[in-house]
Chain A
């Protein structure tokens, strides 16, 4: 009789340790098509010219959380090139690409529930994203559900722009920005 009770006790404790209370919170990132954990390709094919001065790309992701405390952080790699012709100091670099991030609340999400952290509260450069850089402080939940089709979410729109400057070396440049939604 004592043995099953001890076994039950240890299973109970094990479950609590493996699934702490915070894990009960749900968090999700989708793209505009509600694809979970999306890969959103940002591609520029860019030709220096007299006008217009810039080429831009924009993309969006949706954040859902049923808890009031969450954070969006990002890590960047590149851009770098292995085939650019010319002096490497004229390669396209992260500080050549301007970055504008905006947040909108939809459905039941609180319009003040997601706060962009400086310097992302205004236009900055892609180089502002380094490793584990804090982008958004989430202070309010989006709703009580993180279902991909829940109409309540925070929409994070990213706009990248690059001057069509004649200084840039022709070539292909590749990089990646990884966004992670964490709790707390």
Chain B
């Protein structure tokens, strides 16, 4: 009787042991994920808003022929700014002008700066700094030190834009001169360099 009971107990225990399928951890791997997002400051040519247009050189050529009825001559250089920094600045500095015998002075060249933004950009990400809030002239951009043109207080994007198609903050610069008979024939030249810096 004892042997039969013991045998029965053994069979029952064996059945229990084999019917319990415990999902046991056998092997593991871990993938620690580290993503570092660095600050970025990019200037591109508004007319060539791609990698080929980054850090562009934009030539502005104004041809002035004094005459009765001639209107002011203008040319522009437009840039697109992108940054994920919460503070940034667009600064400008100028090389000494070469009047080239024209009699044109820095104050004769008018400068207008305007801002705009794409549909996925924040138009309020940057504000124009005085005196660039209105029309000024080339002498406002000095040769001795960089002057602030735009003060950026937020990142330029307002929404994700996987194609970078509409997340641009644009700075449009326009240079103008009156066709005055006072000016002598020749070529006036100067170079303005814009830099995007943070903070």
A contact residues vs B (CB 8 Å cutoff): 6, 9, 13, 16-17, 20-23, 25-29, 31, 36-51, 53, 59, 61, 63, 78-79, 84-86, 90, 92, 97, 158, 160, 162-163, 165-184
Contacts and interface: CB of A to CB of B under 8 A. Distances in A.
B164 A166 contact: yes
B82 interface: yes
B80 to A, nearest CB: 9
Contacts of A6: 6
Most buried by A among B34, B85, B157, B158: B34
Contacts of A25: 26
A8 B40 CA distance: 73
Given A29-B28, A167-B161, 12 more contacts: A9-B10, A20-B21, A38-B30, A40-B29, A50-B51, A59-B31, A166-B161, A167-B158, A175-B35, A179-B31, A180-B27, A183-B23
Contacts of B1: none
Nearest to B161: A165
A173 B35 CA distance: 5
Nearest to A176: B32
Interface stretch (B12-20, B68-76, B127-135, B173-181): B12-20
Contact of A165 (B33, B34, B44, B157): B157
A23 B37 contact: no
Given A38-B29, A177-B30, A20 B156 contact: no
27 contacts: A20-B20, A39-B30, A42-B32, A42-B33, A43-B33, A46-B37, A49-B51, A50-B42, A50-B49, A79-B35, A84-B37, A86-B86, A92-B37, A166-B82, A167-B158, A169-B37, A169-B84, A172-B36, A175-B32, A176-B31, A178-B30, A180-B27, A181-B28, A182-B23, A183-B23, A183-B24, A183-B26
B42 A49 contact: yes
Main secondary structure of the interface of B (DSSP, over half): mixed
Given A45-B38, A167-B84, A169-B84, A16 B13 contact: yes
Contacts of A79: 33, 35
Contacts, number: 195
Contacts of A78: 33
B163 interface: yes
| Size class of the B contact interface (CB-based, 8 Å) | 35 or more
Contacts of B44: 50
B155 interface: yes
Contacts of B83: 166
Contacts of B50: 50-51
Contact of B29 (A31, A86, A183): A31
Contacts of B167: 165-167
Contacts of A179: 28-31
Given A41-B34, A53-B164, A170 B39 contact: yes
A182 B160 CA distance: 39
B77 interface: no
B25 interface: yes
B162 interface: yes
Given A42-B34, A176-B30, A167 B24 contact: no
Contacts of B161: 165-167
B30 A165 contact: no
A63 B160 CA distance: 37
A63 to B, nearest CB: 8
Contacts of A45: 36, 38
